[in-house]
């Protein structure tokens, strides 16, 4: 149960097609949303557009999934996926496939939670 009592965030007034310069890309070309990404370098180039810079800076010093980035940045998942794809193509982010879940461990964890 969350104890966060902060007011809800206001929705962005910037339309997703503006953030992606009108590109939507084929959904099959995007990285899976569970893909983990991190920066190659701690410095982000000054030439990056705001949204690309925002994504790159959110990855500095940690590994985070595309889905988590979308939630943290309050941007649509498809938009963040496209921005991450751009940054990996430019060599600014490194993408790693998410590891397969250990089913036995997850079942054990669920059993432990149910026992509480």
| Residue 1, domain member (yes or no) | no
Per-residue pLDDT of the chain in tens (116 residues, 90 and over written 9): 445 565 555 545 455 545 555 555 544 467 888 889 999 888 778 888 888 889 999 999 999 999 999 999 988 888 888 889 889 988 999 998 877 667 777 788 888 888 88
Number of domains in the chain: 1
pLDDT, position 72: 93
Q: Which range of residues forms the domain containing residue 66?
A: 16-115
Rounded Cα gap, residues 27 and 13, in angstroms = 24
pLDDT, position 58: 93
Max Cα distance, the chain (Å): 53
pLDDT, position 34: 87
What's the CATH code of the domain at 30?
A: 1.10.10
Pseudo-torsion of CA 41, 46, 48, 51, nearest 10°? 90
């Amino acid at each position: 149960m969350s104890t966060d009592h902060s007011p809800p965030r206001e929705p962005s007034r910037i339309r997703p097609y503006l953030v992606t310069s009108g590109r939507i890309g084929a959904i099959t070309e995007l990285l899976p949303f569970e893909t983990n990404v991190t920066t190659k370098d701690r410095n982000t180039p000054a030439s990056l557009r705001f949204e690309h810079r925002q994504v790159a800076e959110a990855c500095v010093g940690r590994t985070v999934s595309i889905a988590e980035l979308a939630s943290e940045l309050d941007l649509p998942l498809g938009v963040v996926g496209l921005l991450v794809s751009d940054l990996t193509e430019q060599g600014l982010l490194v993408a790693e496939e998410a590891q397969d879940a250990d089913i036995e461990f997850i079942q054990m964890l669920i059993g432990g939670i149910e026992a509480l």
